[in-house]
Amino acid sequence: MAKPVTSPTGRLLVGLTVTLAAVAFFSWYALQQIAGLRDLQTRTVDRNRKDSIQLLRIQNDLHQLELAMRDMLDNTEPYPLEAWRPQFERIRLDLDDALRLEAQLAPTLREPERQQYLARSMALFWTSVGRLVALAREGKTDEARALIRTTLQAQQAAVTTTVARLLVQNSEAEEQAATQIQAIYQRVERNIYLLVLAVLVAILLTSLYLIYSNRRIFERLEALSVQRSELSRKLITVQEEVLHSMSRELHDEFGQILTAIGALLRRVETKGLPPDSPFREQLHEVQEVVQSTLEKTRSLSQVLHPTILDDGGLEKAIDWYLPVFQRQTGVTVRYEKQGTAPDIHDRVGIHVYRVLQEALNNVARHSHSPEAQVRLRLSPEHLDLEVQDQGVGLPAAGAPPGRRGIGMVAMRERAELLQGSIEFARPPEGGTVVRLSVPLPEQDSDGN
């Protein structure tokens, strides 16, 4: 018993599920990496950049304080020390705002002690500035300048140094963040390559399995096709043998019996009954029935298997059949024959005859055409037969199989048995044309 061919659908669905799961997992992973990258850029890079802007602002204000104190120490200035108080207040307002924003934007990785140290240093500086302003108001110019030289400049330098270190830390943090971002890009890029490789491998394995499964299925279909052809060949052969046997039985057995009955009836008429017998008329009726039955039996015998095909060959069988077909159906047949060939008997003749018979029967049953054309072209090596009508044409390709019938299938099988080809076409002028082309077997020297 042949092993059943399993469908590859289940395994293909498993492969598709695994591939989709891999794509979904990588998509989730990529989204997580992108979210981490966005958080890193927002939390470190962007925040450090904004914080560095405020530190530069503080540094600029400290530089202005340094220049103001230098001017205050210059004895050539015509202004009293108290004249710099508005400038110090303006700078203090800007510094306080910058320090407030910088404290909000300070990186989370910065030590709190550094932030507290900056705030304390600025508070001490402004306390010293308050003492400076008080001394200036009291007119103690020398003590005020001494306070600048000994305290304020040192405090301003310390704050400036702290701000510079914070700027350096921000730059280092940005470099670290850039390194982390580059590492994330490299990981994502590497994983993309791995995913593409895995998907390609999955596609390759799925394609190979699909090719293997299709090959097995087509091999099975090919084997079934060979078996079907063998079965069709045997069925057609058996059918012809049965029809030939029935034709011979009808012609020989029933024909002889009916002929004998007719002869007995004629003998009874001539010898058994007087001329004025009332049964003579009834006897004539019986003779007519017997004669009619004999003719129908011979006609049926010819339909089942024309004996003229065995005696005279295919050409004479066609010459005999076409007038019979016209009388029975009323369809006019125009017959054209070209070329010559040896007498065609045996299986080639019967199969070509059956194709012609089926094609003309289709014309009478389905085409609704009043006439048909039969063209026969012969050569020593080849035979071409065409049957054309001007009827409704072939049924649509999507028509139910029952409407198309099995006649076309039988004609194809007979063409394959003869190692020939058959075509069913719709010519431009409408209708249907059946083209049969078969090679003729070589004849021996005796013409057999």
Tokens of 300: 């049926």
Contact (Cβ atoms closer than 8 angstroms) between residue 373 and residue 357: no
CA angle 194, 197, 201 (to 5 degrees): 140
| Domain end call among 210, 233, 248 | 210
Please classify residue 407 by burial: count the beta carbons closer than 10 Å to its beta carbon, then call 0-12 exposed, 13-18 middle and 19+ buried: middle
Domain match, 338 and 190 both = no
Residue-wise pLDDT tens digits, 194-241? 878 887 888 888 888 888 888 888 888 888 877 777 777 777 777 766
Residue 438's DSSP bridge partners are 383
- HEC sequence for 256-304: HHHHHHHHHHHHHHHHHCCCCCCHHHHHHHHHHHHHHHHHHHHHHHHHH
pLDDT tens digits for the chain (448 residues)?
445 556 667 776 777 787 778 778 777 877 777 777 676 666 677 778 888 898 898 899 889 988 888 888 877 666 788 888 888 899 989 989 988 888 888 877 777 888 888 888 889 989 988 898 888 888 888 888 888 888 988 988 998 998 898 888 888 877 887 787 788 778 878 888 887 888 788 888 888 888 888 888 888 888 887 777 777 777 777 776 676 677 666 666 666 777 777 777 777 666 656 666 666 677 777 777 877 777 777 667 666 767 777 778 888 888 888 998 898 888 999 999 998 877 786 778 888 988 998 899 889 888 888 899 999 999 888 999 999 998 887 665 545 444 455 778 888 888 888 889 999 988 888 889 999 999 987 754 444 4
Domain end position, chosen among 189, 210, 231: 210
Structure token digits, residue 296? 């129908």
Contact between residue 373 and residue 366 where contact means Cβ atoms under 8 Å apart: no
Of 180, 210, 240, the position where a domain reaches its end is 210
- Claim to verify: residue 194 and residue 56 sit in the same structural domain: yes
CB atoms under 10 Å from CB of 42, counted, come to 10
The mean pLDDT of the chain is 80
Q: What is the distance between the terminal CA atoms of the chain, rounded to a whole angstrom?
A: 44
Coil, helix or strand at residue 384: strand
Judge whether 224 lies within some domain: no
The answer to the question of residue 111 being in a domain is: yes
Domain assignment present for residue 407? The answer is yes
Range of the domain at 324: 312-439
The answer to whether residues 194 and 325 belong to one domain is: no
Which pLDDT value is given to residue 311?
Answer: 79
Task: Report d(CA 160, CA 63) in Å as an integer.
Answer: 8
Number of domains in the chain: 2
Q: In b/e form, how buried is each residue of 287-307, taking b as 16+ CB within 10 angstroms?
A: beebeeebeebbeebbebbbb
**pLDDT one-digit tens code per residue, 173-196:** 778 877 877 887 788 788 888 878
Residue 347 forms part of a structural domain: yes
